[in-house]
Structure 1
Amino acid sequence: MGNTSSLIAGRECLLSAVGNSTRLVAFGDEPLFRVSDALPRNLEFPATPVAVTYPDSPEQISDILKCAARHQRAVQARSGGHSLGNFGLGGTDGAVVVDMSHFQQLSMDSSSHKATIGPGLRLQDLARQLAVWNRAMTHGNCPTVGVGGHLTIGGIGPTARQWGLALDHVDQVEAVLGDGRIVKSSSFQNTDLFFALNGAAPNIGIVTQLTVRTHPAPSVAVEYSYTIDLDPEDFQQQASAFADWQTLVADPKLPRKLDISLTIRAQVVLEISGKFYGTLKEFDALGLETRFNFSRKRMRVLTGWPSILNATLSDPGWRYSYDKTMGITPRHPLPDHAIVQLLHHLANADAGPASWDLTFRLVGGAVNDRPTNATAFAHRDVLYWITFHARTSSLGLSSTTFGFLDRAYDLLNASLPGRRPMYLGDLDPRIADAQPMYWGPNLLRLEEIKGEVDPQDLLHNPQGEETELSHFLSSSLDYVIVGGGSAGLVLATRLSEDPTVHVGVLEAGKSRIDDENVDSPQGIPSLLHNPEYDWALNSIPQPGTDDRVHVLSGGKMLGGSSGINFMCYCQPLEDDINIWGQLGNVGWSWDELAPYFQKTRGGETELSNGHVGSIKTCFPSGDLDIERAMLDVLNAATGGERPGFYRPLSAIEYGGASEKPTRSYASTGYLAPNVGRANLHILSEATVCRILFESGAPLRAQGVEFCYGGAVHNVSANVEVILSAGTFHSPQILELSGIGDPDVLNAAGIDCRLPLVDVGNNLREHPMAVVSYNLRASNDTAPPEPSVSLREPISTECLVRLVGFLPYASLVAPSELDHAGIAANTGHNHSVYQRALAKFRDPQRSLVQLIGHPGGFGLADSVPRHASYSLLVIGSHPQSQGSCHILSQDPFRAPRIDLGILSQQEDVNVLAAGVAFADSTFHSEHIVHHIAERAFPDRSIDLQDRDQACRFVRNSAVAFNHGVGTCSMGIVVDEQLRVKGVRGLRVVDASVIPLHMAGNPMSTVYALAERASDLIKLDTETC
């Protein structure tokens, strides 16, 4: 960032920023600059800035940042300058440094015992002044470390197990942001910024003041060390000693007062050491001496906090140093064979002339108490940290030493799944893509915040979190997935399982991971028709529903509609999937798709934790009195035929014993556990404008053009572009790119690249009507007290509480059967597609779905929610169809959506029969005593009268937000989901489903995407 020629102009600007005081700025061409102002702490990774500023107010920092932005200079703050990569000097040459030495304020509120501190303080100054007040907080061991860096990236120290990390003490932060604003943040104010500054501050803002909580200082501690001499040839004996230590520290009952580390040095010497913040009697009760066969021990009792501090703070002062860290979790401890391999390597490999050690330091305790998303520091599940450390006083570290430590690291890493967490406080400057290991699942949120507060990436160092855009554009991508919805995130997760394959996802909505409205099963009312969460597209007026306009909901977020739907996890009927193959789509039968339903789903009990599968599911907790009776009545109506009626699964996950249930959707189930992958790149709030093609023939997708932050950008795909934008947006993007019906494209002013007339056609949507009754008793809408295993009763966590299917023949008299469907089966129309449709007209098939919902479903203002019950009536296999087409070249203009809903009288008849049956169900012998009166429709409507029922259906039915078919398999895409006539372009989402199925489509979309990912991998392997 920047160039030498801009330095002279920048000199005048920087001088002005600090009030033209030459004592507050030093430039790189001044004598002794590299000695007095820019001396690296670690000579192993030198960096030389162009200038070092010494501001004495936040306003001066703001002006410095504005000046640096004008001259395209990266900026980094320096508190103590102890970064192993010299990031306080910029990490690379050419940065502007903001030295914080004038920010050394320190005061204590005597009532709250909260300290207000400046980031320019050194750790020893803070700790010793707190000791004067008999207060303390967690911090590390190096006395000259700067407070500003230490308290905002982590801060592991001997008391972390008792009190948490240093940053866990921070209540409020004042910082100057990359755009020059001076902002205060806390858990109540500017909360996203507060999250980011607590764990990733160097690239988010320059901290000018912190308010921290403190603790009463301990009065006594035991300092101890045990040295274990081992046979250098007996690696099993050495591994056994380590295993004893790992077993000890994994014990959740281990007192949090205990700070303990295991260190391995040359000649295979193991030392167990630390402090115990209690009395000698309490320490002896731990029985550490009986657990290890030690040859030497040192122990002393430290009385008084100043003495404890003196024994804690020490500066090794090495001039050349290198650290590499790895976090180990209780879920994945180090296996014995990996320790044996490590010890063999340490004993026999050449480490070069440098000194080295490996330290295994227990954390856990209070550090693990906070949730992962509480702060940018993400590694709350780490039990202990391993530090691979090398140092020397002269000449620098050799390639032999680096190779020695790298091999040690690789031996352990290979024994564990995934990439291991790394600690930013002991950063590794040699890793180019360390960000996912520093910030794990929080990286995506950090990049979003970075883009908001520092869009120019002004506060930059080589390993800092980038803006989403710069990170995305700098990545070489094999696959570009357009749409991070239910299907898109499945694809992204599966394709990026191969670390050599780089996958990019462009999502027009925001990331809503950890959004309370999305996570809570009770948050749906705040999502639907809310433009922050819901696309809320409008259809054109529909003649089949009295010219009403239908609002079509779709998730405007990472996770797509799985983030705003009613969470019903309903698998389709086998015949509904088999028809796909019968249409000529080889490889798409129930037997071939069924394994992918199993791969998706986890948990089929009332509590879902502990079950495998990306999407967690559970049954409704408790039983409603009316539902027990209703299940009996409804199943009697089906004659016992499958699938009948049953309590369905919901995509809801239960956490720990104290946690409430949360929505399990594509973002939480697929993306969040894998967002730390270095080869998975996500850019949200990016609207794809069109697909880009290579010049010449045959037509081949090259990448996409997208709009982000008001500017247009291009990104290339080395292998394929995959559309997963959904039923309405995938055909829209195809048409914007010149693929579709020439008449539609010409009308929109777009040149036709490929005539594919069925793009956007064959739109199919489930029509839905509702019958609601007010109830006599409240226990019909709230489950009774559950057993202890259910923890807490929740009446609204599973909004869909019963589901079932009925054939048309069971709803009407034989004389009323619509024989048009039977006639269609006589073979007069030989089209494969028409023969498939005829099967759905078979009156013996399940044409009606009923869903039980404890409430009025919000379809009429007259329906009270607390004492009502609704049966939703859905036409499972509608004959009506519509279309979705663009109207202009503008990618932000919604397409013209003609649902065609209830355009076929057959669909009206089926739905009318369904509502009549639902109404009669409430009046059956076993249910009638539960109801008070009908709430919807009005009691004046006789639903048993066919004509009145049909009028009610046309007047009230709505789209159930289950649109499919606009890029239909076999017509627009082939059985490999490749767009016909184009290379390097696929569609994978609900738009490829050729005909509608009984039930909610979410589970089918997941399974379809799972299978598609395997097809794509296989296709790539055979290329």
Structure 2
Amino acid sequence: MHRSFLVVLSAVAANLGLASAALFTDPADILADKQYHYIVVGAGPGGSVVASRLSEDPQTNVLLIEAGPSDEGVLPIEVPYLAYELQPNTTHDWNYTTTPQTGLDGRAVIYSRGRVLGGSSSINVMAYTRSSRDDFDRYAAVGGDQGWSWDAIEPYYRKLEHLVPPVDHHNTSGQVEWQIHGTRGPLNITVANAPFPIDSHVVATTQELSEEYPYNEDMNSGYPLGIGWAQATYGNGIRATASSSYIRPVISRPNLDVLINTITTKILRSRHSDEAGVPVFSGVEVAQSSTSPTFAFNATKEVVLSAGAINTPQLLLLSGIGPRAHLASLGIETVVDLPAVGQNLADHPRVGNQFSVASAQDDLGDTIGRNSTLFDELLQEWEEKRQGVMANGGTNHIGWLRLPADDPIWETEEDPSAGPAAPHYEFLFRPAFASSIPGTPTPATGNFMTVLAVLVSPTSAGSVTLSSASPFAPPVIDPAFLSTPFDVYTMRAAIRSAARFVLSAQTWDGFVTGQGAGFADVDLNDDAAVDKWARAQASTIWHPTGTARMGGCGYVEEGSVVDPDLRVRGTEGLRVVDASVFPFIPAAHPQAAVYAFAERAADLIKSGRRFC
């Protein structure tokens, strides 16, 4: 089976998945007088968790709305190795593009976001990283609520996790600490399902260069620093999504309706509360296209926005919640003047750094990509046994590292990380040519491995704004990549560190022959040359956060959008539960943190708590 065929198969399988009677594919099919207590917009790791947990009470009616199609039966979603087939330019992607980035030589960046049941958990590369305890303790300090601290959130991780053995049944001793994980939760996670040729060399480097690159048995302990085996959201050889974990297993609940292929165009204001004239939001307007009819659904208790760090601020702005001047410029009535909506966009830029590999068999990814017969054989193995390379993700190891305490950068810059347990940059190891720019073709000849360097404690801050008052126009996305001296410096240090990792350890002798592909031309001793490479190659690793950030019990002047209960300031009946609420970007792949935030948010909603 060739990759071009997978896109066609994906669309066919998605349509077959819609045959399930439990899913609504057209808002017209929902009874006009249907009463809902909660409406949840967006079916990613935030919305799927909240909708599932709220509907555990049979007396609570919940409507979950997703703009995209079902994820059920879509082969590239189910097969972990095919993750990179899911974006960009697919039916499961919003297919956004950023503004031209000054820090990237004026390049616009393809900005993939999941538009499918499961949200971005259905199209991401599945890395499951809890973040550091310092990140959560900083969230607690910002919000003034110790319920967001590491010690308070860690039990939610155990609640949501189902750690399962790898499908190749290898001995996981020293690769994961089973005792710190949950084994009964809805979300499958595991370590590598199949070995990669580079694995033993990565581990050996942590022994040779242990002072700079220590080994970490389990980076999800709250102390991630070091190099260790990656944990990912797949189990039993199949990707685990927010949908497959939280929605499809409970879709038969009579009090849970799921509406797909439908865009929420506006949050509806019903009235002002009697106490202080606060606007009450109690419904949503939806449509399936710019030319289709609109429908309205009401919620007697709350509307929960979980559309993600791009679409949640877009929807708030379209509904008149945001900076007054921006709304007025588009002719949108200001309902709540909330300047921080859409601001503080933070993301993790990544740069792929290639090295030449001596043997073709050690360049696993490119060997598979260049040999359609081998590709088909491996896919058949997966289809028959759910085993082999196709049951694996793109990386078996992850590294989390900090700049040294005596680095000269601290003479002029403050440390932006959450604390000493939080990293400044990350390594991802791929046994293949891997460019950080989507669509870059693999060289026709040569054999490679790649160390992706990712800046995970950035100081650059961007924005999400509206391009028009139409909900069908894409928002204006500006991550402001590499726009601060610290970010440029740290990315330069991360690229050099990646080269040291591969070129300074004896274990790579005879395996790697030197820098490879375009990276071969980069003089690592020249700051300008390394910076030029970074600006030419950097792209997103798809981790936007912060555009509806959480703050304390103060009001607008503190630059936040939601309070510690994740309620939208200056409103009633409206809450946000997704990556947009993080006050600072986690120094991790954010999906795990979103799952944990959503688990706690569901408990807060159920309890009716008001912290402020």
- Whether 1:857 and 2:438 are equivalent positions in the alignment is no
> Which amino acid in 1 is paired with 2:300?
N
Q: Distance in 2 between matches of 1:706 and 1:568?
A: 33
The alpha-carbon deviation at position 516 of structure 1 amounts to: 1.3
> Which amino acid in 2 is paired with 1:745?
L
Structure 1 residues without counterparts, runs of 5 or longer: 1-187, 196-372, 377-441, 452-467, 655-660, 825-837
Q: Contact between 1:805 and 1:847, CA under 8 Å: does it hold in 2?
A: yes
Q: Distance in 2 between matches of 1:706 and 1:842?
A: 43
2:331 equivalent in structure 1: 749
Q: Contact between 1:774 and 1:931, CA under 8 Å: does it hold in 2?
A: yes
2:589 to 1000, 1003, 1014: 1000
- Structure 1 length-normalised TM: 0.51
Matches within 5 A, 1:314-713: 442-444=20-22, 447-448=24-25, 469-471=28-30, 473-586=32-145, 587-607=147-167, 612-634=184-206, 636=210, 637-639=212-214, 643-654=225-236, 661-696=237-272, 697-708=277-288, 710-713=292-295
Q: Distance in 2 between matches of 1:632 and 1:944?
A: 26
Q: Distance in 2 between matches of 1:762 and 1:674?
A: 36
Q: Distance in 2 between matches of 1:572 and 1:979?
A: 25
2:486 equivalent in structure 1: 906
1:47 equivalent in structure 2: none
Q: Contact between 2:14 and 2:72, CA under 8 Å: does it hold in 1?
A: no
Q: Contact between 2:193 and 2:387, CA under 8 Å: does it hold in 1?
A: no
Q: Distance in 2 between matches of 1:682 and 1:799?
A: 31
Q: Distance in 1 between matches of 2:86 and 2:22?
A: 22
**CA 194–496 in structure 1, closer or farther in 2 if over 3 Å, else same:** closer
The alpha-carbon deviation at position 842 of structure 1 amounts to: 7.2
- Structure 2 length-normalised TM: 0.83
1:803 equivalent in structure 2: 398
Which secondary structure state, in structure 2, belongs to the residue aligned with residue 772 of structure 1? Answer: strand
- Whether 1:770 and 2:352 are equivalent positions in the alignment is yes
Q: Distance in 2 between matches of 1:975 and 1:692?
A: 23
**Percent identity at matched positions?**
29
**CA 793–743 in structure 1, closer or farther in 2 if over 3 Å, else same:** same
Which secondary structure state, in structure 2, belongs to the residue aligned with residue 719 of structure 1? Answer: strand
2:409 to 814, 817, 822: 817
**CA 910–1019 in structure 1, closer or farther in 2 if over 3 Å, else same:** same
The alpha-carbon deviation at position 756 of structure 1 amounts to: 0.5
1:758 equivalent in structure 2: 340
Which secondary structure state, in structure 1, belongs to the residue aligned with residue 400 of structure 2? Answer: strand
Q: Distance in 2 between matches of 1:841 and 1:649?
A: 22
Which of 1 and 2 has greater Rg?
A: 1
**CA 761–191 in structure 1, closer or farther in 2 if over 3 Å, else same:** closer
> Which amino acid in 2 is paired with 1:913?
A
Q: Distance in 2 between matches of 1:593 and 1:604?
A: 21
**CA 546–842 in structure 1, closer or farther in 2 if over 3 Å, else same:** farther
**CA 698–488 in structure 1, closer or farther in 2 if over 3 Å, else same:** same
The alpha-carbon deviation at position 679 of structure 1 amounts to: 0.3
Larger deviation: 717-726 or 483-492? Answer: 483-492
Q: Contact between 1:855 and 1:864, CA under 8 Å: does it hold in 2?
A: no
The alpha-carbon deviation at position 482 of structure 1 amounts to: 1.1
1:726 equivalent in structure 2: 308
The size of the alignment, in residue pairs, is: 545
The alpha-carbon deviation at position 555 of structure 1 amounts to: 0.6
- Whether 1:976 and 2:565 are equivalent positions in the alignment is yes
The alpha-carbon deviation at position 895 of structure 1 amounts to: 1.0
**CA 550–957 in structure 1, closer or farther in 2 if over 3 Å, else same:** same
The alpha-carbon deviation at position 444 of structure 1 amounts to: 3.4
**CA 863–999 in structure 1, closer or farther in 2 if over 3 Å, else same:** farther
Q: Contact between 1:608 and 1:616, CA under 8 Å: does it hold in 2?
A: no
- Whether 1:926 and 2:507 are equivalent positions in the alignment is yes
> Which amino acid in 1 is paired with 2:150?
W
Q: Deviations over 1:243-273 (max 9, x none)?
A: xxxxxxxxxxxxxxxxxxxxxxxxxxxxxxx
**CA 867–192 in structure 1, closer or farther in 2 if over 3 Å, else same:** closer
> Which amino acid in 2 is paired with 1:1008?
F
**CA 930–819 in structure 1, closer or farther in 2 if over 3 Å, else same:** same
- Whether 1:991 and 2:580 are equivalent positions in the alignment is yes
1:877 equivalent in structure 2: 457
Measured on the aligned residues, the alpha-carbon RMSD in Å equals 3.0
The alpha-carbon deviation at position 781 of structure 1 amounts to: 4.4
Q: Distance in 2 between matches of 1:715 and 1:605?
A: 43
The alpha-carbon deviation at position 591 of structure 1 amounts to: 0.9
The alpha-carbon deviation at position 792 of structure 1 amounts to: 4.1
Relative CO higher for 1 or 2, CA cutoff 8 Å, sep ≥ 6?
2
Q: Deviations over 1:969-989 (max 9, x none)?
A: 011000000001101100000
Q: Deviations over 1:46-98 (max 9, x none)?
A: xxxxxxxxxxxxxxxxxxxxxxxxxxxxxxxxxxxxxxxxxxxxxxxxxxxxx
Structure 2 residues without counterparts, runs of 5 or longer: 1-8, 170-181, 217-222, 366-377, 552-559
The alpha-carbon deviation at position 194 of structure 1 amounts to: 11
1:887 equivalent in structure 2: 467
Q: Contact between 1:651 and 1:664, CA under 8 Å: does it hold in 2?
A: yes
> Which amino acid in 2 is paired with 1:630?
V
The alpha-carbon deviation at position 695 of structure 1 amounts to: 2.5
Q: Distance in 1 between matches of 2:445 and 2:599?
A: 38
Q: Distance in 1 between matches of 2:301 and 2:400?
A: 43
Larger deviation: 572-581 or 640-649? Answer: 640-649
Q: Distance in 1 between matches of 2:418 and 2:492?
A: 16
Q: Distance in 2 between matches of 1:963 and 1:867?
A: 33
Which secondary structure state, in structure 1, belongs to the residue aligned with residue 452 of structure 2? Answer: strand
The alpha-carbon deviation at position 920 of structure 1 amounts to: 2.2
Q: Contact between 2:133 and 2:421, CA under 8 Å: does it hold in 1?
A: no
Which secondary structure state, in structure 2, belongs to the residue aligned with residue 583 of structure 1? Answer: helix
Q: Contact between 2:467 and 2:476, CA under 8 Å: does it hold in 1?
A: yes
The alpha-carbon deviation at position 558 of structure 1 amounts to: 0.9
The alpha-carbon deviation at position 951 of structure 1 amounts to: 1.6
Q: Distance in 2 between matches of 1:549 and 1:820?
A: 30
Q: Distance in 1 between matches of 2:445 and 2:396?
A: 15
Q: Contact between 2:81 and 2:389, CA under 8 Å: does it hold in 1?
A: no
2:417 to 840, 861, 869: 840
Q: Distance in 1 between matches of 2:453 and 2:359?
A: 24
Which secondary structure state, in structure 2, belongs to the residue aligned with residue 718 of structure 1? Answer: strand
1:965 equivalent in structure 2: 546
- Whether 1:1014 and 2:603 are equivalent positions in the alignment is yes
Q: Deviations over 1:307-345 (max 9, x none)?
A: xxxxxxxxxxxxxxxxxxxxxxxxxxxxxxxxxxxxxxx
**CA 850–693 in structure 1, closer or farther in 2 if over 3 Å, else same:** same
